[in-house]
Amino acid sequence: MKRDLAALAGREHDLLVVGGGIHGAAAAWDAAQRGLSVALVEVGDFGSGTSWNSLKTIHGGLRHLQWADLGALRESVRERAALLRIAPELVHPLGFVLPVYGHGPRGREAMAAALLASNLLSARRNDGLPASHRIPRARMLSPREVLACAPGVDPRGLTGGASWTDAQVSSSERLLVGFLHAAAEAGAVLASRVEVTGLRRNGSRIDGAHALDREGGATLEVRGRIVLNATGPWSDRLFSSSGLAKPPSCLLRALNLVLRRRLVDRQALGGRGDGRYLFLVPWRDGCIVGTGYEPSDEPSGDGGVQALLDEARRAFPWAGLERTDVSLVHRGLVPGRGGAAGLASRGRIVDHEAEEGLPGLVSIEPVKYTTARAVAARAVDLVVRRLGAPAAPCRTDVTALPRARSLSGPLAERARCAVRDEMALHLTDAVLRRLDLGTAGPPPPEVVEEVARAMASERGWDAARVAREKADLRRAYAPDGSVRDGMP
C-alpha cells in the first residue's frame, strides 16, 4: 500500500471510490478483483470514520425477526459466514445470552419461537467454515443455566434465557486494512488524507472528483468513469459541495461506552434498557456496552453519555456502573428509517442515473459493518453494468484476505511496518488503527513514545514534529471520551 498521488491523478480509472471506511475498502477490493481499474481516496486515515466506532459484533441478524425481515436476516447470516471464512484470524464466534422474563410477547415462549425460526432460516450458516469457526444452533436456557453464566441477573420472574452465537471482530481496523491490502495487491490506487472537495461534472455526467491533498496542500483532479460515493454519513456534505441539491438524510446518533471493568467474560450478555435491549460485549481487558441511538438533531449536553450510562444501569443493575468505569466513547451517525421507526435494516445502493438522471454516480447508504462486503458487492454489480464492460464475477465472499490479521513482532518493528507498508502517515494512524493500541482507551505514554520513535526514524521527523504528533494523539481523545480523529 503506497501513497502515489501521481498514479491517482495521472490516468482515468474505471471506478473512483470516495471514502475509505469498511464499505469503500470492500468495494475497492471487489472492483479490483473483478478486473476494473480502481482508485480510492479517504480524507482522514482509512477507517477513521464510523467504522472505528463499532460494537465489533458481526450479527447474524436475529433482530430482523422483530420486523419479519427475512431477507435482511439471511443476508446477515451469509455475511457473518463470509467474514468468518475470509478473515478467520480476526473474526471469531461469540456467544450471547439474553435473560427472559415472564410469558408475554418478550417472554420465554416468544423467544423460543424466534430462536427456532432463526435456526431454520440459517440452516446453511456454516457452509465452508472450519470446525473452530462454526456457529452452533441457538437454544433456550433454563433459569438455572442463565444464573450459572450470569450470576448477577435478577432471578425474580426469570423464565429462561436465549442463547445464540454471533461473531466478533477482534480488530475492525485490521479487517478494513486487510481489504485495502487485497485491493492494492490487485492494482487499486489508494490514498489517505485526500479530500474530495467536489464531484467533477462533464455536462450532465459525473466523471471524477476535485480533490485536495491534505498532506501537501496541492489540488488534484481524479478522473473516474464511475464515482462510488462511500462517504456514509458525510454524503449530504459531498452532494452539497458538488452543487447537488437533495433532501437531507435521516440519521441517528449511535453510541457505545467502552468500560474498564470486565463485567462479562467469554460471552456477551443482553439486558432490557428503556424499550430496547443493550448488550455488554467482552472487549480487551474490559467490555463495551451499547448500542444506544438518539435522533441526530437532538443531541443532549454530553452527547448522550450519561443517558446511555443510566440506561445501562437499569439494564444491568448488578454491575454497579459508574461514570469512572467509562474509558472511551464510540459515537457515529447511522441511517434511520424516518420518524421514530429506529435503525434502517438494510444497506441501499443509489443509482443516481436511474433515480435522478445523473450518470456516473453511485452511492452506498450503509447500515452495518457486518454486511459491508455484500452491500459493496451489490454496488460493484451496478458499476459493472453501467460501465458495460466484461468483468469477472464477485468472489470476495470466498477469497481469503491474507493480510487480515494483526501485525506481529516487536512494537517498533510493527510501527515501521505500518509506515512502510500500510500508509500510516501520522502517529494517530499507527496507534489507533494499525497497531490497535488505543481501542480501549488512551495507551500508556511509554507505548506512544516507542511508536513515535520508530515512526520518526522511518519518516525523518525532527523533535518538533514528534511533539506535534504526540499532541495530536492526545487531542484525538476528546474531553467527552470519544476519539475525534476522522473527517474534519
Residues lying near ligand FAD in the complex (CB under 6 A) are found at 18-24, 41-44, 48-51, 53-57, 59, 195-196, 230-232, 234, 238, 254-256, 290-291, 330-332, 334, 366-370, 486-487
Output 9 or 140, the one with its CB closest to ligand FAD: 9
Q: Pick the closer one to ligand FAD by CB: 150 or 175.
A: 175
* In 268-410, alpha helices (H): 305-315, 352-356, 372-387
Bridge-based pairing of strands 219-229 and 361-365 is parallel
291 vs 345, which CB is nearer to ligand FAD?
291
CB of 350 to ligand FAD, least distance (A): 13
Instruction: Tell me how far, at minimum, the Cβ of 166 lies from ligand FAD, in Å.
Output: 9
Q: How far is the CB of 413 from ligand FAD (least distance, A)?
A: 27
Q: Which is nearer to ligand FAD, 291 or 396 (CB)?
A: 291
Phi, then psi, of 189 in degrees rounded to 5: -100, 120
Closest approach of ligand FAD to the CB of residue 338, in Å = 18
Report in angstroms how near the CB of residue 279 gets to ligand FAD at its nearest.
9
Q: Which residue is nearest to ligand FAD (CB)?
A: 21
**Min CB(364)–ligand FAD separation in Å:** 6
Task: Give the shortest CB-154-to-ligand FAD separation in angstroms.
Answer: 26
> At residue 124, what are phi and psi to the nearest 5 degrees?
-100, 25
Which phi and psi angles does 405 have, rounded to 5°?
A: -160, 165
**Closest CB to ligand FAD among 101 and 369?**
369
For residue 153 the three cell numbers come to: 441477573
Pick 122 or 370: Cβ nearer ligand FAD: 370
Complex with ligand FAD: residue 34 or 368, whichever CB lies closer: 368
* Residue 486 CA from chain centroid, whole number: 13
Sequence letter at residue 45: D
Please, what sign has the CA dihedral across residues 376, 378, 379, 385? Answer: positive
Question: Collapsing DSSP states into helix, strand and coil, what is residue 108?
Answer: helix
Nearer to ligand FAD, 145 or 294 (CB): 294
Phi, psi (degrees; rounded to nearest 5) at 31: -65, -40
Smallest distance, ligand FAD to C-beta of residue 209, A: 8
For the record, the C-alpha cell of 334 comes out as 447511522
The one-character DSSP state at 429 is I
Distance of CA 75 to the CA centre of its chain: 17
Distance between CA atoms of 61 and 75, rounded to whole angstroms?
8
Residue with cell 498514479: 7
CB of 67 to ligand FAD, least distance (A): 17
Q: Do strands 158-169 and 189-192 pair parallel, antiparallel, or not at all (unpaired)?
A: unpaired
| CA end-to-end span of the chain | 24
Strand duo 286-295 + 251-259: pairing? antiparallel
Would you list the DSSP string of 444-460?
A: PHHHHHHHHHHHHHHHT
Phi, psi at residue 287, to the nearest 5°?
-160, 170
User: Of 231 and 327, which has the nearer Cβ to ligand FAD?
Assistant: 231
